């Protein structure tokens, strides 16, 4: 059921002037191109850690829509499964539906993902669409007054590259 749709072969990494952003977007794009299933997996994400390793995830649609899991969350879980390294940047790419006359495109993290990414990677940047380009933005600037609860009484481990 999954597969590559040749009609949607535009790689949105081409819109990223920064090589690291382009690498992340290309990886996210490749991930969702390989694993796309209409109605089940539509977005791929990639996160790069300070040691240069990249971790990927795909969106998991749920029958009860609010239980769907964003690709960024799947990539974050994959990263944290394998490394304690600081996480430097994230990118996500939406694959078009076969019925859409559209290219794959970079998508910004949703509000929920912004919260959770900042919980686990306070300095992380995201590749976001700005005009015709995919550019880095510091995620904390995209969620300036983040929720701060009392659940965690300890700080994250020191995050120095
Ligand atoms: Zn999200």
CA of 139 to the centre of ligand 1 (A): 13
CA of 61 to the centre of ligand 1 (A): 12
Superfamily of domain 11-142 in the CATH hierarchy: Cytidine Deaminase, domain 2 (3.40.140.10)
CA of 62 to the centre of ligand 1 (A): 14
The rounded mean pLDDT for the chain is: 91
Residue ranges of E strands in 24-147? 43-49, 54-58, 87-94, 105-106, 125-130, 133-138
CA of 107 to the centre of ligand 1 (A): 10
Whether the pLDDT of residue 158 is over 70: the answer is no
Distance from C-alpha of 18 to C-alpha of 20, rounded to nearest angstrom: 6
Strand partners, 91: 46
Q: What is the pLDDT of residues 130-155, one digit of tens each?
A: 999 999 999 999 998 888 888 876 55
55, 73, 115, 155, 158 from 122: Cα distances, Å: 18, 15, 10, 11, 11
CA of 117 to the centre of ligand 1 (A): 10
Domain boundaries along the sequence of the chain: 11-142
Report pLDDT for 152.
75
């Amino acid at each position: 059921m999954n597969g590559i749709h040749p009609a949607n072969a535009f790689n949105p990494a081409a819109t990223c002037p920064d090589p690291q952003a382009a690498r992340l977007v290309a990886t996210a794009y490749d991930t969702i191109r390989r694993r796309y299933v209409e109605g089940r997996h539509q977005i791929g994400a990639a996160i790069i850690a300070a040691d240069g390793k990249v971790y990927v995830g795909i969106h998991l649609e749920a029958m009860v829509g609010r239980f769907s899991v964003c690709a960024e969350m799947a990539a974050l879980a994959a990263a944290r499964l394998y490394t304690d390294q600081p996480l430097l940047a994230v990118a996500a790419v939406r694959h078009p539906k076969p019925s859409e006359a559209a290219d794959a495109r970079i998508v910004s993290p949703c509000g929920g993902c912004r919260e959770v990414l900042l919980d686990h990677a306070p300095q992380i940047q995201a590749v976001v669409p700005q005009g015709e380009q995919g550019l880095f933005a510091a995620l904390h600037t995209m969620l300036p007054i983040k929720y701060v609860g009392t659940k965690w009484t300890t700080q994250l481990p020191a995050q120095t590259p």
